[in-house]
Structure 1
Amino acid sequence: MEFIQLYNQNKDKLTKSENKLANYIAAHTEHVIYDTIKSLGKATNTGDATIVRLCKKLGYSGFSDLKIALAQDSMMTTSKGHDETQTTPQLSSKVLISSIEKTEELISHPVLTEAANLLAQAKRIHIFGVGHSGESARDYERTWLRIGLIANAESDPHIQVQVATLLNKDDVVVGLSLSGHTKDTYDSLKVAKEYGAKILAITNDLISPIALLGDVSLQTAVSEFMNIGTVAGQVSQLYLCDVLAREYEKMNKVDVDKIKERALTEVMKKSI
């Protein structure tokens, strides 16, 4: 049963502070899904005991159970929104086009310029991501190579930490995480920051722990909790990869044709 239904059925049994908390959860579902009990308490100025009591009164075993239910509610709402008259190709293209359009709407041009400047001034660039974000990191590495921007993608958290300890103020680490709450990525970025590296965070949630580590943060538009492993999430990340490449190219007056010509000459030698 949806959270709002359970709340409406039980609100007369709730205290004033529990009603206030429930109203916050209903209005901020996407954020609450990623919250810890501590961060939710801080956001609502309520104690752990109040949060646990609300969960119990609404029939949940605890806060984790509530978050899972909220995610399931969100997924059901999303699936109901599909137009059954559309073909499978139409549905897929609609989702992917929407992920790009929504990401574009979130781009602040001053922030984009700041991000491209960060890359242009870096002595070394590393890209950290795990899981599907780790795959996106590899795509960033290859895409940026085509404009003469050399970056190293790393998806192994243990290697990330080793790399992080070798960085300094002249280096930049790009952190990819749709949720902004990926612990391995956060830990690696935190070490890099402690050693002086600048952080460019690319995440769906600008108030997430990873985004808050960023010297500059860009926002994707596809929530990971409800879209784990989806193409739409990666498309949102890769769209920003291309946008950053084009902004860097324009800012530094990169002769992309010359770079491509030189690379093609050498690649052709690989033919037999």
Structure 2
Amino acid sequence: MSDIYKDINSNYEKLSETEREVINFVLKFEDIENLKLRDIKEALYISNATVIRACKKLNYETFSELKDAFIQSREEKRSVYPVKSNFLQELDRIKKDTLTTLELVDEKNIDQICNCLIKARRIFCIGTGSSSRVASEFNHKLKSVDLWTNDFSDKMLIEHIPQISTVEDVVVVFSLSGQVEEIDETIIKIKSNRTTIISITNMAAIKLKSISTYCLLTSNPSDQKRICSSLMLYMMSTLIYEKLITKVPSFE
């Protein structure tokens, strides 16, 4: 059987305006297996004879032959370019993001962050939106090694931190987008107290990175419209914790 798209391309000029409407209708029809002559007839208000003439001008004797050609072409494309399920597409994205994030890891940077956490008088873990869950879990991990720490997700409470933070304290900011203007303004105020700022955010968060004393970067979400996973933030928080427990005396 010949290639339906080559046949259309070669013979399209031979078709009358009405016959072109027929072929265009078939091209756009998604459920080609269940397409019937009466569907075209009722949609375009034309006769069966017009549909058959269009088929014959494309070198197909019957409408069934035309349908079979479309189906075969689609199946051949699927065999060469298999359509991945949404799950497999998401799995590929996670693999890509994970590898990119791991390539950004600097062990020396993580080591310096751990030293700051161990020496801190108080640790404030900040996160809003979906990042708040990561901040809360990281706060729990720090408590497990007897560090003084609290997590903050409410913006009003976060805005209060500049009034109490000192040079002896550390603020850890988790931000999936890295573009929360209100948080950036608060962090600037906190930094003016000479408080150490540690941020875990994506590589596009230029402003937050510039404010921070130390910054761990994750891959930048490629599609800003989709709801981004916090998995990369969790991964970075885990790397800090795993390094931390090797340095805390009670875990030696």
Q: TM-score, normalised by structure 1?
A: 0.57
- Give, in angstroms, the shift of residue 206 of structure 1: 6.7
Which residue of 210, 218, 221 maps to 2:208? 210
Q: Check whether the contact 1:179–1:225 (CA below 8 A) recurs between aligned residues.
A: no
* Total equivalences in the alignment: 172
- Give, in angstroms, the shift of residue 95 of structure 1: 2.3
Q: Check whether the contact 2:125–2:149 (CA below 8 A) recurs between aligned residues.
A: yes
The 5-angstrom pairing of residues 1-272 of structure 1 reads 85-205=83-203, 208-223=206-221, 226=224, 229-231=227-229, 234-255=230-251
Q: Distance in 1 between matches of 2:251 and 2:177?
A: 35
Matched residue type, 2:100: K
- Give, in angstroms, the shift of residue 218 of structure 1: 0.9
- Give, in angstroms, the shift of residue 215 of structure 1: 0.9
- Give, in angstroms, the shift of residue 109 of structure 1: 1.4
| C-alpha spacing 1:237/1:207, structure 2 compared with 1 (3 Å) | closer
Q: Distance in 2 between matches of 1:97 and 1:87?
A: 15
Q: Check whether the contact 1:128–1:185 (CA below 8 A) recurs between aligned residues.
A: no
1:235-269 deviation digits (Å, cap 9, x = unpaired): 0100000000011111224429xxxxxxxxxxxxx
What's the secondary structure of 1:250's corresponding residue? Answer: coil
| C-alpha spacing 1:99/1:150, structure 2 compared with 1 (3 Å) | farther
| C-alpha spacing 1:228/1:162, structure 2 compared with 1 (3 Å) | farther
- Give, in angstroms, the shift of residue 120 of structure 1: 1.2
Q: Check whether the contact 1:124–1:171 (CA below 8 A) recurs between aligned residues.
A: yes
What's the secondary structure of 2:164's corresponding residue? Answer: coil
Q: Check whether the contact 1:178–1:222 (CA below 8 A) recurs between aligned residues.
A: no
- Give, in angstroms, the shift of residue 154 of structure 1: 0.7
Q: Post-superposition, which runs of at least 4 consecutive aligned residues in structure 1 deviate over 4 A?
A: none
Q: Distance in 2 between matches of 1:146 and 1:85?
A: 46
1:91-118 deviation digits (Å, cap 9, x = unpaired): 3333223322221110111111111111
In the alignment, structure 2 segments of 5+ residues that lack a partner are 1-80
Indicate the RMSD between aligned Cα atoms, in angstroms. 2.3
1:185-216 deviation digits (Å, cap 9, x = unpaired): 11221121112211001121376111111111
Q: Distance in 1 between matches of 2:243 and 2:209?
A: 21
What's the secondary structure of 2:159's corresponding residue? Answer: helix
What's the secondary structure of 1:223's corresponding residue? Answer: coil
2:36 alignment partner in structure 1: none
Greater alpha carbon shift after TM alignment, 114-123 vs 222-231: 222-231
What's the secondary structure of 2:83's corresponding residue? Answer: coil
Q: Distance in 2 between matches of 1:163 and 1:207?
A: 22
| C-alpha spacing 1:121/1:84, structure 2 compared with 1 (3 Å) | farther
- Give, in angstroms, the shift of residue 133 of structure 1: 1.7
Q: TM-score, normalised by structure 2?
A: 0.61
Q: Check whether the contact 2:204–2:220 (CA below 8 A) recurs between aligned residues.
A: no
1:144-175 deviation digits (Å, cap 9, x = unpaired): 33344442111112111212210101100011
| C-alpha spacing 1:188/1:96, structure 2 compared with 1 (3 Å) | same
- Give, in angstroms, the shift of residue 142 of structure 1: 2.4
What's the secondary structure of 1:86's corresponding residue? Answer: coil
